[in-house]
Structure 1
Amino acid sequence: MKMLENDHIRLRAPEPEDLDILYKWENNTEWWQYGSSIVPFSRFALKQYLIQSKQDIYQDKQLRLMVELKSTHATIGSIDLYDFDPFHLRAGVGILVDENYHRQGYASQILELLEAYCFGFLKLNQLYAVVPVQNTRSINLFKKSGYILSGTLQKWLSSGDFYEDATLFQKINHKTYG
């Protein structure tokens, strides 16, 4: 099996052709509570991101990969590494699967491919995820994928009207030294 792909999906760098799907996802206000977006993105801003991103985790301190179905070449989601820390060798994980592809097992596959890349190739020590307590799908995904619930962050996320607790999940690469 090649790195960043399995029999069903492929993780790949964003392409200019992803502009429309990124515009749709980034401007879905129902999803803002799960990420860091609090304002709409213009097509111009997203186009600039696609042009200017070096796709170098050491330079950008983040990495976005698009998820493509190998059978149809449809882009069905994305996965992000954010807050990359090259000294402590850790990064946060954010995952998005388009609602048309929910409950088909893709999220687990995406996370598994990303982990193999991060732990096997980048030699990261750990990945972590901060998940709103209301996001039971993501909580179940990370638990099922072997992430350990490390704590609850009190009143961590703002919805504008109230603050919501978030759970902190970690997955340690036990193949690293220390």
Structure 2
Amino acid sequence: MPKLLINDTLYLRALEPEDLEVLYKWENDTDVWKFGSAISPYSKFALRQYIEDAQTDIFHSKQLRFMIVLHERETTVGTIDLYDFDALNSRCGVGIYIDPACRKNRYALQALNLLINYAFHFLKINQLYAVIPESNISSIKLFQSTGFSQSGVLQEWVSYDNEFENAIIVQKLKSDQ
């Protein structure tokens, strides 16, 4: 396993067929749909196909998902993604999810730092960004704590429960490191 995807507490790994049940639970958690773009539940069939078809080549699939796994007990605590990869402009979006039972342990911070290092130093990406609903204060603080800075506000960008909410754009440039 490459040292750049691992620290003393956790590591990032590719999707495995054994991840089906936990992905099914997380992807169908309606409490977090408002923070993403999900509009309907995912079937186990669809998730099984996603796992089988998941490319580990970000240049081909334009995305790359990692499972966040604790060394202790080999427990999977979340996922972290690179998405909307744009090779021409050398940028990529970042998304992260930590199981509610595992939050407040700094796993998101550690995983995000590993992903930043991987993206900038191995993939040679120049810019990472995230689009975060204004109400998701913990995510905004997480990204800011790793050096992302707010670069804009998208007005009424996210719709949930028939109401619109602004979204914050945060960015981190390789040159900021």
Q: Give the length in aligned residue pairs.
A: 176
Does residue 157 of structure 1 match 2:158? yes
* Secondary structure of the structure 1 residue equivalent to 2:74: coil
Query: Does the CA-based 8 Å contact 2:82-2:94 persist in structure 1?
Result: yes
Task: Specify every segment of 5 or more residues in structure 2 that has no aligned partner in the other structure, as ranges.
Answer: none
- Partner-residue secondary structure (3-state), 1:84: strand
For 1:175 and 1:104, the matched residues in 2 are separated by 26
When normalised by structure 2's length, the TM-score is 0.97
Distance (whole Å) between structure 2 residues aligned to residue 63 and residue 160 of structure 1: 30
Deviations along 1:138-163, one digit per CA (max 9) or x if unpaired, are: 01101111101001110011114011
Asked if structure 1 preserves the Cα contact closer than 8 Å seen for 2:55 and 2:64, the reply is: no
Paired position in structure 1 for 2:78: 77
| Aligned alpha-carbon RMSD (Å) | 1.3
TM-score, normalised with respect to structure 1:
0.96
Whole-Å separation in 2 of the counterparts to 1:109 and 1:153: 28
Instruction: Name the residue aligned to 1:105.
Output: 106
Q: CA deviation at 1:120?
A: 0.4
The answer to whether the aligner puts 1:35 opposite 2:36 as a matched pair is yes
Greater helix proportion: 2
Matched residues in 1 for 2:55 and 2:96: separation? 20
Local SS of the residue matching 1:72: helix
* Secondary structure class of the residue paired with 1:94: strand
What stretches of structure 1 of length at least 5 have no aligned partner?
Answer: none
Q: Which stretch shifts more, 167-176 or 8-17?
A: 167-176
What's the % identity of the aligned pairs?
A: 49
Matched-pair contact (CA < 8 Å) for 2:15–2:54: no
- CA deviation vs aligned residue, 1:39-76 (integer Å, no higher than 9, x gap): 10000000000111122101100010000001110100
Report the counterpart of residue 168 of structure 1 in structure 2. Answer: 169
- How far did residue 36 of structure 1 move? 1.6
CA–CA separation in structure 1 for the residues paired with 2:64 and 2:164: 28
Runs of 4+ in 1 over 2 A off after TM superposition: none
